[in-house]
């Protein structure tokens, strides 16, 4: 097995599988199996709801994409708690939206009422500058839901001039370094950036061969 940085992992493929074998596998699926699969796929769909002035909620697909200059996303309990303690602990922010999803580790409520106490993704808007948004995503987003999450959330925003900042955490034991992890400060901060980001980063860059996984990577 190759262990160099940037290793390309080939996804499972049916290339080279005999057509008769593929047809036989397809025949094994009964109508009941197909119905169950369709119901599960429907249940795993992600809904993005945005609050309107009347206090009700509306589907994110309705209306034109709104202007957004800065979008800060905190993924995971630690990152979400950081936002709550140091940024959202003021009256400068208002809840404007929510992401509802269902999977093996997350059961969001069927209600459309947006409450900060609910354990799913919440969107906040800076009152003094409505183009600045925050997202607290403390719930688990499964692998098969990550692209859908990105598509529906960023599909609501205009991409021109949009700066996205992702906050996430991982165990120190997963950090790859030649130094002893016992000598590292806890917590410590590392950064990754795209080539489009021209500003100065606030901390050292993440060294190879460390990688980012799951929703932050997506």
* Overall number of domains in the chain: 1
127 lies in some domain: yes
d(CA 158, CA 181): 41
- H or E stretch including 83? helix 77-86
pLDDT of residue 9: 54
User: Would you say residue 57 lies in a domain?
Assistant: no
Residue 159 maps to a domain:
yes
In a domain? residue 79: yes
In a domain, 28, yes or no: no
DSSP code at position 101: -
Q: What is the pTM of this model?
A: 0.72
Inside any domain, residue 201 = no
Which residue range is the domain that position 137 belongs to?
44-51+65-170
63: left (phi over 0), alpha (psi -120 to 50) or beta: left
Q: What is the pLDDT along the chain (218 residues), one digit of tens a residue?
A: 444 454 455 555 555 556 666 666 656 778 777 777 777 777 788 888 887 543 444 444 446 788 899 999 999 888 988 888 888 877 789 988 888 887 777 766 554 454 444 457 889 999 999 999 999 998 888 888 899 999 999 988 888 889 999 999 988 888 888 888 778 887 888 999 988 888 888 888 988 898 888 999 88
Position 97 in a domain: yes
> CA nearest 111: which of 100, 102, 121, 103?
100
- Please tell me the distance from the alpha carbon of residue 144 to that of residue 56, in angstroms, as a whole number: 29
Distances (CA, A) of 128 to 50, 150, 180: 19, 26, 45
pLDDT at 48: 86
């Amino acid at each position: 097995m190759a262990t160099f940085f940037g290793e390309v992992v080939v996804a499972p493929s049916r290339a080279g599988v005999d057509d008769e074998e593929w047809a036989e596998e397809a025949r094994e699926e009964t109508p009941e199996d197909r119905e169950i699969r369709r119901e599960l796929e429907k249940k795993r769909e992600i809904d993005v709801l945005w609050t309107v002035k009347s206090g009700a909620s509306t589907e994110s697909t309705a209306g034109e994409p709104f202007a957004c200059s800065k979008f800060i996303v905190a993924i995971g309990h630690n990152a979400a708690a950081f936002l709550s303690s140091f940024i959202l602990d003021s009256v400068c922010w208002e809840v404007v939206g929510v992401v509802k999803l269902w999977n093996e580790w997350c059961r969001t409520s069927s209600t459309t009422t947006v409450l900060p106490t609910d354990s799913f993704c919440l969107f906040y808007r800076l009152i003094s500058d409505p183009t600045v948004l925050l997202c607290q995503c403390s719930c688990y987003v499964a692998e098969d839901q990550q692209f859908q999450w990105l598509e529906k959330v960023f599909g609501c925003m205009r991409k021109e001039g949009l700066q996205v900042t992702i906050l996430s955490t991982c165990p120190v034991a997963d950090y790859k370094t030649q130094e002893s992890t016992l000598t590292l400060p806890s917590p410590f901060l590392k950064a990754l950036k795209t080539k489009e980001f021209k500003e100065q980063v606030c901390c050292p860059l993440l060294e190879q061969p460390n990688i980012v996984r799951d929703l932050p990577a997506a």
